[in-house]
Structure 1
Amino acid sequence: MEQTEKSKVHAEKGLLEKIKLCLSKKPLPSPNDRKKFDRDFAFSTSFHGVHNIVRNRSKIRKVIWLVVVLGSVLLVIWQIYSRLVNYFTWPTTMSVKVQYVEKIEFPAVTFCNLNRFQTDAVAKFGVIFVLWNIVSKVIHLQEINVNSTSTKEAIDFLESQQNFSITEFVKKNGFYLNNSTLLECDFFGKPCGSQDFAHVFTEYGNCFTFNHGKNIEAMKKVSVSGRGLSVLFNVNQDKFTDDPTLGFVDAGIVFVIHSPKKVPQFDGIGLLSPVGMHARVTIRQVKTVHQEYPWGECNPSIKLQNFSTYSTSGCLKECKAKHIEKQCGCLPFLLPGNGIECDLQKFYNCVSPALEHIQVKELCTMGIHNSSCPVPCEETEYPATISYSTFPSLRALKHLSKKLNQSQKYIRENLVNIEINYSDLNYKITQQQKAVSVSELLAEVGGQLGLFCGASMITIIEILEYIFTNFYWICILFLLKIPEMTSRTPPPQTHLGNKNSIEEC
């Protein structure tokens, strides 16, 4: 180590000696040459006003021009400083543009029955209501009454059946889609059926998505406004039911309209259509573009493992799933992933504390750029306007009663008609943009320099050349010439030395 340090010191000394040797070969200009250089710079520079200070013989005019030049310099410094401060606050503007097109992509629509379970299955297996309620409360961080009778029944049941899977039970005994539940389907005049819907699992159990993912319809773009998807559902309240004590007291279809590239999210944005009603939904496409940090809050480098397109909701689900799987070794069935499904015991002992830990420690946050799940850089939404009418009319009621071979009362209590279409063939783009770009900043700085000093980039180079030349001369003077002058001066003689010389004589 010591040898290395010594070699570094020798190398530095060698470099300094070379610099000194190089500088010593350069002659130091005389005072007249330096004055001539300063005067030539003042007359030739493109920095306005400087030559007026040097050229004028009147002292009053010199002072006036000196004040003018210094004032202009101070003003331009202040203006440039304020523009730099403004730029580094990363300001943005929002632009809204309506784009009219000939064709537009139709969204995905996910439908769920408000009565989630088959009546025959839950009649023999009523504990499923409690199991689902417990799991839902844990996922949504709600308090569970451990001492309730129903909860104890659920625990006793799962202790006797360790391999029970809520997911498999709901898939097998939940709502299904076939010719008996989907009576009619029409997409822009062409018939569709249950085969055109993809099964998805949500908090409403078995749900079915039209025009989702790799479905062939998702690649099509519609070219007619006022028409779209029309479906007629039979919710069949005799065959499907739910527990009213848990808050499920409605009958009908809940649905959500979303991008074909995103998973459905029902929290707070689901639309309801009750039985005996015709719901007419008109939609518009709205695209939102966010700037990446530091102008905006999006992070384009974040990718999701279980979803093809980034979304805040999908990111939060993956974040929770990752922490729960790490702590508990399993996954709740409403969260994405390929891990082992958590049983109810693990929900009590591990999943619930893990979710509370995630919330308290803010391990899965959203919104700003450095959070776990920042806003997406681009997202597409479909704001909807919904209106209702009684379905069917008295004449249509008789017609459907004969067609389906069901009573008029059955038709009123079980059928739901939903129609979804675009209001216009256009979409709105809301885009976050940089308020000041680099080129605009340079233009503003150059404008201030030109306005107050008549300066440009060439002027700045001239000033830098002038400063560098003077600095170079100062280095020669102080580093070489002054030490040489000091070394040549003979040392003063002391009285003691004189005395000794006399004695020697």
Structure 2
Amino acid sequence: MILISGQMLLADYAARHTSFTIDKFFMKTGFDCNDVLKRCTIGGRILDCCANAKPILTNFGKCYILGLQNNAEKWIHRQKESGLNAGIQIILDAQLDEQFVLDFEKGNRSRLLINDYERGFRYFLQKTGTIPNFIGGGFSVSPDTITYTSIRPNRDLILSRNSMVSCWNEYPSEYEMDELDEANDRPYSMANCQSVCKAKHFVEKCRCTPAIHNVASSFPECTPLETYQCIHQLLSNNQSNPPHIEPDCSQCKPDCFSLANQASNSYGNGLSNGALYWLNENNPNWSVDYMRKNFGMINIFFSK
């Protein structure tokens, strides 16, 4: 009933606002960069976070990619020496007072997605053009928590097209260029290719694709009700055990070149009094009580 009533409300709103799209809604209602990225430093040197950040829509909602390689300042491009003090530090504001609460007391007991159980942020370490939510679980930072992410470059994996393991650097020829959205920083990778493959599969079967696969933002996107109906239809028509409703996407080959980084995390609980009062002196709008409830800190550095 919730999906049906939600679909009716969406249809009514879209009829009165003809330019409305789900993507535009999330991008407009999501936090602006300056709302969440409060302070960045590299090796202790202050950096304008948002001048180097680009908004992107993922299955987590509106996120930001911090692309330091595009900055004209050369000192930003790489860590000069190993260790925590030479890495990047980011202070984030969770803005918990802006969160809304589902009203379970009135019978709204819809299931929560896994990422709805957590306060704070998730962050991913990725190469340019990679889809954040397809590269792994990422790391978490909650309010009044400090994370330390130590990175160690592991290996470069270089494959030849003539090797026993077939690899590729281009999308399959049957994919149209407007489906790939390469102008939107989506160069070839196996994960990017598989997302397009799955989106095309669902569009063929259900005339729309679930949002999680619409990475190129060029396919008709299913509403929550349409997603449910599509998956229910595919499961009903599937005789395999266990049921399998996604394509194998065998045409998407591994990347011919990939860099594997090994990352480990450690956590600290609570910003120190000294840090809180120092930050408050630098910005009186950040009260100590507010920072304790909302601020988290990320430290990312190469260990060697």
**TM score, norm. by length of structure 2:** 0.74
Q: Find out whether 1:347 has 2:221 as its counterpart.
A: no
Aligned to 1:342, the other structure's residue is in SS state coil
Aligned to 1:238, the other structure's residue is in SS state helix
Q: Find out whether 1:318 has 2:196 as its counterpart.
A: yes
Tell me, yes or no, if the aligned pair for 1:298 and 1:376 is still in contact at 8 Å: no
Query: 2:144 is matched by which residue type in structure 1?
Result: G
Q: Find out whether 1:204 has 2:77 as its counterpart.
A: no
Matched length: 270
Q: Within 2, Cα distance between the matches of 1:292 and 1:356?
A: 42
Q: Find out whether 1:364 has 2:248 as its counterpart.
A: yes
Paired residue for 1:411, among 287, 291, 298? 291
Paired residue for 2:99, among 236, 240, 244? 240
1:371-420 Cα offsets, whole Å, 9 max, x none, are 23232222123221111223321233333345434443321110011111
Query: 1:256 is matched by which residue type in structure 2?
Result: F
Query: 2:142 is matched by which residue type in structure 1?
Result: P
Structure 2 partner of 1:157:
9
Q: Within 1, Cα distance between the matches of 2:70 and 2:47?
A: 19
How far off is 1:278 after superposition? 1.6
Q: Within 1, Cα distance between the matches of 2:200 and 2:73?
A: 33
Q: Find out whether 1:256 has 2:106 as its counterpart.
A: no
> After the TM superposition, which residues 383-402 of structure 1 pair with which residues of structure 2 at under 5 Å, given as runs?
383-401=262-280
Aligned to 1:383, the other structure's residue is in SS state strand
Ranges in structure 1 where 5+ consecutive residues have no aligned partner: 1-148, 366-370, 425-505
Q: Within 2, Cα distance between the matches of 1:182 and 1:377?
A: 35
Query: 1:413 is matched by which residue type in structure 2?
Result: K
How far off is 1:328 after superposition? 4.1
Q: Within 1, Cα distance between the matches of 2:285 and 2:255?
A: 50
Cα separation, partners in 2 of 1:234 and 1:266, compared to 1, 3 Å: farther
Q: Within 1, Cα distance between the matches of 2:208 and 2:268?
A: 47
1:190-220 Cα offsets, whole Å, 9 max, x none, are 4223121011111110100111785657993
Q: Within 2, Cα distance between the matches of 1:292 and 1:399?
A: 54
Cα separation, partners in 2 of 1:361 and 1:409, compared to 1, 3 Å: closer
Q: Within 2, Cα distance between the matches of 1:221 and 1:410?
A: 33
Higher Rg of the two aligned structures: 1
Q: Within 1, Cα distance between the matches of 2:53 and 2:253?
A: 31
Query: 1:296 is matched by which residue type in structure 2?
Result: M
Query: 1:158 is matched by which residue type in structure 2?
Result: L
Cα separation, partners in 2 of 1:352 and 1:215, compared to 1, 3 Å: farther
Q: Within 2, Cα distance between the matches of 1:215 and 1:263?
A: 21
Write 1 or 2 for the structure with the bigger share of helix.
Answer: 1
Aligned to 2:221, the other structure's residue is in SS state coil
Structure 1 partner of 2:148:
280
Q: Within 2, Cα distance between the matches of 1:413 and 1:384?
A: 28
Q: Within 2, Cα distance between the matches of 1:173 and 1:252?
A: 17
> After the TM superposition, which residues 79-94 of structure 1 pair with which residues of structure 2 at under 5 Å, given as runs?
none
Amino-acid identity (%): 23
Give the aligned CA root-mean-square deviation in angstroms: 3.3
> After the TM superposition, which residues 100-179 of structure 1 pair with which residues of structure 2 at under 5 Å, given as runs?
149-163=1-15, 165-178=21-34
Structure 2 partner of 1:122:
none
Question: Which range moves more in the overlay, 226-235 or 280-289?
Answer: 280-289
Aligned to 2:90, the other structure's residue is in SS state strand
1:195-251 Cα offsets, whole Å, 9 max, x none, are 210111111101001117856579934432221221111111112346596152322
